[in-house]
Amino acid sequence: MKTPLEIAFFGSSLVSAYWNGAATYYRGVVRALSERGHRITFYEPDAYGRQQNRDIPDPSWARVVVYSAENADGVLATVRQARGADLVIKASGVGVFDELLEQAVLELQGPSTSVVFWDVDAPATLDRVMHHLLDAFRPLIPRFDLVLTYGGGDPVVRAYRELGARDCVPIYNALDPHTHFPVAPEPRFQADVGFLGNRLPDREKRVEEFFLRTAALLPKRTFLLGGSGWLDKPQTPNVRYVGHVYTRDHNAFNCTPTAVLNINRESMARYGFSPPTRVFEAAGAGACLITDEWEGIEMFLEPGREVLVARNAEDVVRHLSELNPARAREIGQAALRRILAEHTYARRVEQLEQLLEGRGDARTALEAAPVSS
């Protein structure tokens, strides 16, 4: 953009990935915005022990304001600090006072201030408002200048427009090559298959199918489970649980096992076109990725050449039986080349700038991107 923007961004946390799956996405987007000359203030609540479990310091590419979430008055006072920004962004899933924030940021709207709702979990948001007609967010949707999502494709766009959104455009997850890249393997993460993800109700049954049942079917293979909440989950002896894995260790986690498994949450798989950050983290590290099947995967990686796709545990078993270290490296390197060429946050922010400038071609920027040979 010709003129740098002052951006106020209200999200869950930029400095902590603790119970905060959106952290990688926020960091990639905000860093790329800063590299384009924009000035960002990221407002995040002191909640859920995230400030006690930071995995990065305050970055040079954004000003971080941590506010007390103990009462509504403090939250409203924080929102008033954003007055005068060119662009105000309220992300979904801040976790505390979301309804209040969604109403309060709209009061900042004006001739020189656009207010955007950025949905980092559109399937969950849409399922909620579709089933609860009195949901407080539902009547606010038409008031936002723009709704952005980090996935969902046409099904999510159609749903938001039917709810009255002025416009809805996906800004998909991507790779931040500053933070996710190939590193040397580490013995503590050695395994045939690794899976990293927090235990959530919307994901647990799919983890049972794609990861835990696969482990039971392959007792002679080794499986590595990372993420919070799995300690009391029944596991076969060939599964090793390592608990929460800090962002600084994600590259080693992805680079060490022969293959890394991605398992979407049920709602994301149902809507499709929703690649989680884990896909890009793993591909950015050059990992051989096996993902559960969901519509739209071919927009990001070519099945069979850049990623392996599984419909169930038997498919995962088949892929592993056909996989050797050389083949795994070949798939991982192909994925890395594709992601670096087409799916970085720098590319996503260029798309965002086109949207803010009113250039309609941004809506098809991802779909029209050339496919790597």
Tens digits of residue pLDDT in 198-245: 999 989 999 999 999 999 999 999 999 999 999 999 999 999 999 999
Please determine, for residue 366, whether its predicted confidence score (pLDDT) is greater than 50.
no
Span(s) in the chain for CATH 3.40.50.2000:
6-174+345-364, 187-342
pLDDT value of residue 367:
43
First CA to last CA distance, the chain: 31
pLDDT value of residue 247:
87
pLDDT value of residue 359:
58
* Over residues 53-73, mean pLDDT: 96
| pLDDT band at 317; cut points 50, 70, 90 | very high
Contact 176, 296 (CB under 8 A): no
* Over residues 53-58, mean pLDDT: 95
Please determine, for residue 176, whether its predicted confidence score (pLDDT) is greater than 90.
yes
pLDDT value of residue 135:
95
pTM summary value: 0.86
pLDDT value of residue 153:
86
Please determine, for residue 1, whether its predicted confidence score (pLDDT) is greater than 80.
no
Q: May I ask the CATH class of domain 187-342? A: alpha beta
* Over residues 65-71, mean pLDDT: 95
pLDDT value of residue 372:
37
Please determine, for residue 370, whether its predicted confidence score (pLDDT) is greater than 60.
no
pLDDT value of residue 21:
86
| pLDDT band at 59; cut points 50, 70, 90 | very high
pLDDT value of residue 150:
86
Percent of residues, the chain, with pLDDT higher than 90: 86
pLDDT value of residue 255:
98
Tell me the three-class secondary structure of the chain, residue by residue: CCCCCEEEEECCCCCCCCCCCCHHHHHHHHHHHHHCCCEEEEEEECCCCCHHHCCCCCCCCCEEEEECCCCHHHHHHHHHCCCCCCEEEEECCCCCCHHHHHHHHHCCCECCEEEEEEECCHHHHHHHHHHCCCCCCHHHHHHCCEEEECCCHHHHHHHHHHCCCCCEEECCCCECCCCCCCCCCCHHHCCCEEEECCCCHHHHHHHHHHHHHHHHHCCCCCEEEECCCCCCCCCCCCEEEEECCCHHHHHHHHHCCCEEEECCCHHHHHHCCCCCHHHHHHHHCCCCEEEECCCCHHHCCCECCCEEEECCHHHHHHHHHCCCHHHHHHHHHHHHHHHHHHCEHHHHHHHHHHHHCCCHHHHHCCCCCCCCC
How do beta strands 39-45 and 87-91 pair? Answer: unpaired
**How far are the Cα atoms of 51, 201, 206 from residue 264, in angstroms, in the given order?**
27, 12, 8
Residues facing 149 on adjacent strands: 119, 170
pLDDT value of residue 272:
84
* Over residues 150-169, mean pLDDT: 93
CA proximity to 320, closest of 246, 232, 210, 244: 210
Tell which wins on pLDDT, 264 or 364.
264
* Over residues 280-300, mean pLDDT: 96
Please determine, looking at this structure, whether the domain spanning 6-174+345-364 carries the CATH number 3.30.930.10: no
Give the whole-angstrom CA distance, residue 196 versus residue 194.
7
* Over residues 365-371, mean pLDDT: 40
* Over residues 348-359, mean pLDDT: 88
| pLDDT band at 300; cut points 50, 70, 90 | very high
CA proximity to 33, closest of 367, 364, 355: 355
Contact 260, 288 (CB under 8 A): yes
